[in-house]
């Protein structure tokens, strides 16, 4: 079709008017045009039938969505546009109001984690939401938490980013990961939902709304200055310091200036092993944690793969049928008989040596009271370590198949491990390696069933939030063995501890 000139006069071979040949050519051209349109229509209809709605959306999407020269021939990830639209349409956003003065205050921490896995982003989101919640309790005039995308790439012109040669979405709306339900006015306190009954706090708002209505009237607080005053890298004094600071500010739009390491709670704090100790009891009892809920997308992925994690023997209600009001501890009750292992491969081959060279402790989320600890081997230097110490770190951080089997056998002897029958391996490892590990675990004779992240069946939107589904499995397993330096393990550990799992059932390699 494209080679046929639509307007005959545009063609250089178009002869003089009145010519018989011209009339003939015009006749042929029209026929071709009609024929061409007909063919295009038929092909389009067939492709719709074949690939369904998703293919249709891709065809009608932007040219960038259709194909990308950076990853030729590769199907591009979803952009979750309907989740973004849903977030923007939340009823607490008064987009068309003439004045916003009677709205509550807004509190935004912009320097949030980016370019890192979901586990890293999640720990910061939980604490930012907790700080907003505390500030609401302490201050007369309530403030709304400003929630934001899980961001891999800050460049708004890039919808996709490269991760080890594969395209991933640059941004995932938070509502695709964490639940939001403003309609029945309960739960989902982080992503614009309401707090449980009796806990008054205003709905959270989306970053776009904040940016739009606060344009030109933001009160920006200097993180560095406030943290110098606080003089601590523990979460409790930092939170209290900020709550105090916020109580002295009257502006409607309050924002934290991005410090050199990020927002309020940075990687330094998450790497500090005692950072959560003083705040733990209050944090775990706050609705941010007691009413934490994964998104319907994540819960549905869990339900669909329920038999993959561990075969069910009796009827168990799917998570997606449990009412919203049910708190996290009941909703995500223990799956008896299941052992979940979190095993990081890939970049951890190098990362673990780096951790050894800096004699790193477990992360703060993995160092809650009552849990087993990692004793840092002596003799490490400044950015270097002895081969013996590096080997110790590798055993805990990047264990071999033999080391994993040995550690599992050790944990099996503990009281909490009674009745384990199935193993689910949460991993980013390559399939052949994971298969080798599965065989080794089955060969111990201790388990009836072994599966891994590689065995799950996910739809296209679930594929890019699969880490969250894995976390949900880990948090519900009867026994969990994780990686003390991983924030994905950290999210699992925090939920297990908060939901009353015995500390003896939460272990590390």
Among 65, 76, 77, 84, binds ligand NAG (CB under 6 A): 84
DSSP H helical ranges for 231-342? 235-247, 267-270, 280-285, 287-290, 296-304, 306-309, 328-331
Of all residues in this chain, which one has the CB nearest to ligand NAG in the complex? 384
Specify the residue, 171 or 342, whose C-beta has the smaller distance to ligand NAG. Answer: 171
- What value, to the nearest 5°, has the Cα angle with vertex 286 and ends 280 and 291? 120
Distances (CA, A) of 187 to 248, 280, 467: 29, 21, 22
Interacting residue with ligand NAG among 120, 128, 149, 161 (CB under 6 A):
149
Hey, is 166 helix, strand or coil?
strand
Within 165-204, the residues that bind ligand NAG by CB under 6 A are: 171
Cα gap 184→489, rounded to integer Å = 32
State how far the alpha carbon of 311 is from the alpha carbons of 25, 253, 299, 300, 474, in Å. Answer: 70, 51, 17, 17, 16
Of residues 1, 97, 285, 350, which one binds ligand NAG by CB under 6 A? 350
CA distance 399 to 183: 46
Q: Which stretch binds ligand NAG (CB under 6 A): 240-248, 302-310, 348-356, 474-482?
A: 348-356
Site for ligand NAG in 364-423 (CB under 6 A): 384-385
Any residues with CB less than 8 A from the CB of 42 and at least 6 apart, and which?
A: none
> Which range touches ligand NAG (CB under 6 A), out of 36-44, 180-188, 352-360, 402-410?
352-360
| DSSP single-letter state for residue 178 | B
Residue carrying the six token digits 């979901």:
118
Using the rule CB under 6 A, is 86 a contact of ligand NAG?
no
Stretch that binds ligand NAG, among 215-223, 260-268, 346-354, 477-485 (CB under 6 A): 346-354
Q: Which is nearer to ligand NAG, 274 or 353 (CB)?
A: 353
CA-closest candidate to residue 132, choices 167, 170, 155, 105: 105
At closest approach, how far in Å is the CB of 350 from ligand NAG?
A: 5
Give the pair of three-digit tokens for residue 450: 């072994």
Size of the site for ligand NAG (CB under 6 A): 12
Asked if 394 and 352 count as a contact pair (C-beta separation under 8 A), the reply is yes
Nearer to ligand NAG, 204 or 284 (CB): 204
CB of 130 vs ligand NAG, minimal distance in Å:
21
* Closer residue to ligand NAG in complex, CB, 252/389: 389
Residue 84: CB minimum distance to ligand NAG, A: 5
What is the DSSP track for 299-326?
HHHHHHTHHHHS--SS----GGGS-TTS
Told to check if 82 binds ligand NAG by CB under 6 A, we report no
With binding defined as CB under 6 A, does residue 438 bind ligand NAG? no
Q: Which two tokens stand for residue 71?
A: 């990853």
Give the H or E element holding residue 127. helix 118-138
Closest to ligand NAG by CB, 171 vs 273, is 171
Region 215-234 residues binding ligand NAG, contact defined as CB under 6 A: none
Q: Which of 58, 103, 208, 504 binds ligand NAG (CB under 6 A)?
A: 208
CB of 112: closest distance to ligand NAG in angstroms?
11
Q: Residue numbers of the site for ligand NAG (CB under 6 A)?
A: 84, 149, 156, 171, 207-208, 350, 353-354, 357, 384-385
């Amino acid at each position: 079709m494209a080679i046929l000139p639509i307007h005959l006069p545009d063609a250089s071979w178009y002869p003089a008017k009145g010519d018989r040949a011209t009339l003939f050519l015009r006749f042929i051209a029209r026929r071709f045009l009609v024929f061409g349109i007909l063919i295009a229509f038929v092909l389009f209809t067939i492709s719709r039938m074949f690939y369904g709605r998703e293919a249709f959306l891709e065809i009608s999407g932007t040219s960038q969505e259709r194909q990308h020269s950076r990853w030729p021939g590769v199907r591009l990830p979803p952009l979750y546009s309907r989740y973004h639209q849903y977030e923007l349409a939340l009823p607490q956003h008064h987009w068309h109001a003439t004045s916003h003065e009677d709205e509550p205050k807004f509190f935004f921490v912009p320097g949030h984690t980016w370019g890192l896995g979901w586990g890293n982003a999640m720990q910061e989101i939980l604490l930012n939401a907790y700080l907003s919640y505390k500030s609401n309790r302490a201050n007369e005039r309530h403030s709304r938490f400003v929630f934001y995308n899980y961001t891999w790439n800050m460049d708004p012109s890039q919808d996709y980013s490269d991760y080890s040669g594969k395209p991933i979405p640059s941004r995932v709306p938070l509502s695709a990961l964490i639940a939001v339900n403003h309609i029945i006015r309960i739960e989902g306190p982080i992503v614009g939902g309401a707090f449980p009954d009796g806990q008054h706090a205003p709905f959270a708002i989306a970053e776009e709304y904040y940016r739009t209505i606060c344009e030109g009237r933001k009160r920006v607080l200097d993180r560095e200055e406030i943290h110098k005053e606080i003089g601590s890298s523990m979460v409790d004094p930092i939170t209290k310091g900020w709550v105090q600071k916020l109580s002295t500010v009257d502006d409607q739009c309050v924002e934290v200036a991005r410090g050199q390491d990020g927002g309020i709670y940075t990687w330094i704090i998450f790497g500090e092993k005692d950072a959560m100790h003083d705040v733990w009891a209050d944090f775990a009892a706050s609705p941010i944690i007691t009413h934490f809920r994964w998104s319907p997308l994540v819960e549905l992925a869990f339900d669909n793969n329920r038999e993959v994690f561990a075969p069910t023997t009796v009827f168990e209600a799917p998570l997606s049928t449990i009412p919203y009001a049910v708190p996290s501890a009941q909703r995500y009750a223990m799956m008896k008989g299941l052992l979940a292992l979190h095993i990081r491969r890939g970049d951890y081959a190098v990362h673990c040596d780096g951790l050894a060279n800096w004699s790193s402790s477990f992360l703060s989320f993995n160092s809650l009271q009552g849990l087993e600890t990692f004793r840092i081997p002596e003799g490490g230097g400044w950015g270097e370590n002895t081969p013996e110490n590096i080997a110790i770190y590798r055993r805990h951080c990047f264990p071999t198949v033999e080391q994993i089997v040995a550690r599992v056998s050790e944990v099996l002897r503990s009281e909490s491990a009674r009745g384990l029958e199935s193993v689910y391996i949460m991993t980013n490892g390559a399939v052949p390696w994971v298969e080798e590990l599965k065989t080794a675990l089955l060969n111990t004779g201790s388990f009836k069933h072994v599966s891994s992240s590689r065995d799950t069946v996910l739809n296209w939107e679930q594929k890019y939030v699969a880490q969250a589904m894995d976390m949900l499995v880990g948090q519900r397993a009867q026994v969990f063995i994780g990686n003390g330096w991983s924030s994905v393990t950290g999210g699992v550990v925090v939920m297990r501890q908060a939901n009353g799992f015995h500390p003896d059932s939460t272990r590390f390699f």
